[in-house]
Amino acid sequence: MIVLAFLIILTILAMYAGKFIRKHNVKIYIAAVILSILAFIFKDKAITVPFIQGFLGLSFFYIVMITGAIDKKHKIKAKFMGLRREYSIIGFIVISPHALNYTLQGLDGTRSLEWFGLISFALMIPLFITSFLKIRKKMKVKTWNLIQSAAYIIYLLLFIHLILNYTQTINLILYIVIFGFYFVMKIIYEVRKFKTKRYKQKLVLA
């Protein structure tokens, strides 16, 4: 349930602290890196659980994910869009201790390798790199969009990873609910988008 708490906090920050986060994004990235390193070093401490178990990173990515499924008429869409880049970058940083810890445990035989999680993390790397404006400006729009489209594969892999590796039943229920909500919202969004496109095409041909 800690993910739900983080989702509420991140939503509130998006609604009321968007300008601050964008203005100080580099400082926040640096802070996230430092905290992530410390979390990995002191991974046996209870306070590092949100990092090591991936709860915090998942929360950031879910906001990024659900943004693409929210209708444009809703105010929260604009708020989330304003922080989508920052949230995706921070999300990758804070989920890295989780990915590294699980991968190392898989390599030393402590646990089996979590392939769905590992592949999704690997796919996140190019998205993370191209999320920075300096990198994005050097790329063709078509190429950048193609790389970003890998996000949908990541979302599916993350869902499978979470379903296969939940720690408590309540977490399993939460994952099914929030991802199910996303899938339904996304389908509705794409259907409406398709209908609107078809309608505009008919007006042009009329």
Q: List the domain range (segments joined by +) for residue 70.
A: 2-205
Q: What's the pLDDT score for residue 205?
A: 57
DSSP 91: H
Structurally, the chain folds into a number of domains equal to 1
**Measured between alpha carbons, how far is 168 from 170 in angstroms, rounded to an integer?**
5
Write b or e for each residue in 24-38: b if 16 or more Cβ atoms lie within 10 A of its Cβ, otherwise e. ebeebeeebeebbee
Q: What's the pLDDT score for residue 196?
A: 76
Check: pTM over 0.85? Answer yes or no.
yes
Q: What's the pLDDT score for residue 193?
A: 84
Q: What's the pLDDT score for residue 48?
A: 95
Asked whether the beta carbons of 13 and 87 are under 8 A apart, the reply is no
What angle do helix axes 25-41 and 75-107 make, rounded to 10 degrees?
30
Q: Mean pLDDT in each 10-residue stretch from start to end of the chain (206 residues)?
A: 92 96 97 97 94 95 94 90 95 96 89 91 93 88 87 93 89 93 93 79 61
**Measured between alpha carbons, how far is 43 from 27 in angstroms, rounded to an integer?**
24
